[in-house]
Structure 1
Amino acid sequence: MLHFFRNLFTGKNTTILQQALAKGAVIIDVRTPREYSQGHIKGAQNIPLNEIKLKSDIIKRWGKPVITVCRSGSRSLMAKNTLTSAGIEAYNGGAWTNLQILIG
């Protein structure tokens, strides 16, 4: 069954996310703290979307690529665009549950 779900996420985006993870990417969950507390990827940082721009300097100092996730992929795309505009290597991981399946 897990093999079935992993096959759903094959392709260019999956390869890019796997490469970012191999380079030590930090996963940022941009959902609210309440949403995050109801389930998240182990080790993911919780920085809500409304705080991303304010914390972009801190995130930039990490010196690592970033993968943003949320519930559906909409907020994570907005966060990814904000971080990319700030000069941070960022990728939209989409829904956190999908990325969790990908990384196992």
Structure 2
Amino acid sequence: MFPVETISAKMLDYYVDRADAVLIDLRDREEYKVSHVKGARNFPYEEFEEMQSYDFPRGKILVLYCDRGGASLMAARLLARKGYETRSVIGGFEAYRGRNLVFSR
């Protein structure tokens, strides 16, 4: 079992616009289009098999969130096994109330 650091939803704002971090939204494309955290890239969890072959930048912290936190924890563990430094957001997007929320129209 690879330990994954968990962070609170409030901590997401700390990682926004940081050069050493990549925010990854694991929710489906429609949910992402409606709203997401500023700068987050959308990789739906349903497509995680393909995502595992994606070459994320090495040397960056991958900060993953989903709806409530379960899927991001599993994805973060799998990516940690591949040598990535990961963070999983406890409570997921549902718990986020920060200033970097992006809404689409």
Q: Which residue of 1 aligns with 2:26?
A: 30
Q: Does the 8 A contact of 1:31 with 1:46 survive in 2?
A: yes
Letter in 1 for 2:80: T
> What SS does the aligned partner of 1:101 have?
coil
> What SS does the aligned partner of 1:40 have?
strand
- Name the structure where strand makes up a greater proportion of residues: 2
Q: Which residue of 2 aligns with 1:80?
A: 76
Q: Which has the higher contact order (CA 8 A, sep 6+)?
A: 2
Provide the rounded CA distance (Å) in 1 between the counterparts of 2:45 and 2:7: 22
Provide the rounded CA distance (Å) in 2 between the counterparts of 1:67 and 1:57: 18
Provide the rounded CA distance (Å) in 2 between the counterparts of 1:36 and 1:81: 22
**Which consecutive unaligned segments of at least 5 residues does structure 1 have?**
1-11
**Which consecutive unaligned segments of at least 5 residues does structure 2 have?**
1-5
Q: 1:101 aligns with which of 79, 82, 98?
A: 98
Query: What RMSD, in angstroms, separates the aligned Cα atoms of the two structures?
Result: 2.8
- If the length of structure 2 is used for normalisation, what is the TM-score? 0.66
- Name the structure where helix makes up a greater proportion of residues: 1
Counterpart check, 1:89 vs 2:55: no
Q: Does the 8 A contact of 2:7 with 2:87 survive in 1?
A: no
Letter in 2 for 1:30: L
- If the length of structure 1 is used for normalisation, what is the TM-score? 0.66
- Farther-moved stretch of structure 1 (24-33 vs 92-101): 92-101
Once the two structures are TM-superposed, the CA of residue 83 in structure 1 deviates from its matched residue by: 0.7
